[in-house]
Amino acid sequence: MIEGIFTLTILGLSLGLFLGLAARYLKVGADPIVEDISAMLPGSNCGQCGFAGCGQAAEAVANGSATLDLCPPGGKSLIESLAKRLGVDWDFSNTTASVPTVAYVQEATCIGCARCFKACPTDAIVGAPKQIHAVINSACNGCRLCVDVCPTECLQMVEVQTTLENWRWHKPQPAMQQTPLAQAA
């Protein structure tokens, strides 16, 4: 019986050692693309893309089951950097231009319930219980998490105002419209 116990112990130890070493040296790392993509995504886990969080969204983008324009807070610059990382061409002409938005508190209906600033992942809402809250525009990425928790619907998403700081020249529109020959005839 002693021999049996001895054999099995040796067997167990050596196999355990082998598995342990294999786990260390033959490790298959996580897909580096997924890591890169999750570093590009905002990380606020707002769920507007339909996934539970930015990690799942990154996996979906990496295996091709989601399109590049899935993230509204990321905007155009995110699409560009994703397209560059994945080495694909993205045609902006068929993307519906999503206007960047920020949250806005309507003072008249805010009851100071303090739910929104607990929900805000970027600490963009300031306030205290029973005081009117306010949004710091520069810290808001438009994730809409606060809109869902507001009991009085006083939190709304508004378009970012065009000011002298963010005004840009529009793209020149070609003046001549070439009518296709078939239509002209």
Structure tokens at 77: 């610059």
- Identify the CA nearest to 73 among candidates 108, 49, 104, 109: 49
6, 14, 16, 92: which one contacts other proteins (CB under 8 A)?
92
Q: Does 88 bind other proteins (CB under 8 A)?
A: no
- Give me the residue label for tokens 């519906």: 96
**Least distance from other proteins to the Cβ atom of residue 172, Å:** 5
Site string for other proteins, 146-185 (x = CB under 8 A): ----------------xxx-xxxxxxx-xxx---------
65, 96, 138, 183: which one contacts other proteins (CB under 8 A)?
138
Name which of 13 and 39 has its Cβ closer to other proteins.
39
Q: CB–CB of 25/54 below 8 Å? A: no
Query: Which residues share a beta bridge with 103?
Result: 157
User: Interacting stretch for other proteins, rule CB under 8 A, among 8-16, 19-27, 36-44, 105-113?
Assistant: 36-44
Distance CA 117, CA 153 (A): 14
Name which of 43 and 127 has its Cβ closer to other proteins.
43
Q: Strand 134-135 to strand 125-126: parallel, antiparallel, or no bridges (unpaired)? A: antiparallel
139, 148, 152, 158: which one contacts other proteins (CB under 8 A)?
139
18, 35, 84, 99: which one contacts other proteins (CB under 8 A)?
84
Measure CA 29 to chain center.
23
**Least distance from other proteins to the Cβ atom of residue 60, Å:** 20
**Least distance from other proteins to the Cβ atom of residue 93, Å:** 8
Question: In degrees to the nearest 10, what's the CA dihedral of 121, 122, 124, 128?
Answer: 50
Distance CA 123, CA 140 (A): 8
Give the relative orientation of helices 32-40 and 75-86 as an angle to the nearest 10 degrees: 160
**Least distance from other proteins to the Cβ atom of residue 125, Å:** 12
Binding site for other proteins (CB under 8 A): 42-44, 74-78, 80, 84, 92, 121-124, 138-139, 141, 162-164, 166-172, 174-176
